[in-house]
Amino acid sequence: MSIVIGLTGGIASGKSSVARIFEELGATVLDADAIVRELQSPGSPVLEEIAAAFGRELIRDDGSLDREALGAIAFGDEGARRRLNAIVHPRVAAEITQRVAAARAQGAAVIVIDIPLLFETRDSADSGVEPTQFDATVAVHVPQSLQIERQMLRDGCSRAQAEQRLRAQMPLDHKRSLADFTIDNAGTPEETERQVRRILRTLSEAPP
């Protein structure tokens, strides 16, 4: 029986790096953000719903979604963010469920679902995410000051923009309190890997 792990964190917490470590250690990783991009591909039903809800100016000349413009709308308006989530989250959850089943059928021992909004959506009526879907949840955390610095460096955004994005997310301290395991990602890659290995060992040794 596969072990299914829900992996979450905050913007610029290094969650994707942690997911890569899980993958390097043999886990099958499903990336919710990558699934979102697939579902929002040109001509897709999801993209059409987004355009209908937020305006066709969000569709570029080549038919692709202007993600930066949509992000500015969603991060700046709670109501808009909820409307967007209601369109996207149920489809993503359904796709994840199918891919977990496929991974299990192929004999995957550990399946990691990299889902940034795990705790924000799992109890929402329109999310499709069930808490029982996971055998364990893992939250990646770093100090907020480091999140801001990483965002500014990675995205070329201002401090004010980085802080606005953080305010739109559940605080990492809250995610830590909800998770079964936490990973401190403020140190070296080697320190992070040791924490990942410890979690995998603990879960593999737990009684079924």
pTM (predicted TM-score): 0.87
Is residue 189 in a domain? yes
Residue 179 lies in a domain: yes
> Is 206 among the domain residues?
no
Q: Report in angstroms the alpha-carbon separations of 59 from 72, 79, 80, 88, 156.
A: 14, 21, 17, 16, 23
Give the per-residue pLDDT at 84.
93
Parent domain of 90: 3-201
> Looking at residue 131, which CATH number applies to its domain?
3.40.50.300
Which alpha helices (DSSP H) does 60-208 contain, by range? 67-76, 78-105, 118-121, 144-155, 159-167, 172-178, 189-205
Bridge partners, 4 (sequence order): 111
The pLDDT tens digits of the residues spanning 160-200 come to 989 988 888 889 999 999 999 999 999 999 999 999 999 99
Residue 134 lies in a domain: yes
What's residue 77's pLDDT?
A: 85
State the pLDDT at residue 85.
87
**Domain presence at residue 115:** yes
Residue 112 CB partners (closer than 8 Å, separation 6+): 5, 7, 19, 22, 23, 27, 28, 29, 30
pLDDT at 207: 76
Evaluate whether residue 208 is within a structural domain. Answer: no
pLDDT for the residue 125? 47
In a domain, 60, yes or no: yes
Which pLDDT value is given to residue 120?
78
> What domain count does the chain have?
1
Q: Which two tokens stand for residue 171?
A: 């605080």
Residue spans of the chain under pLDDT 50 = 125-126
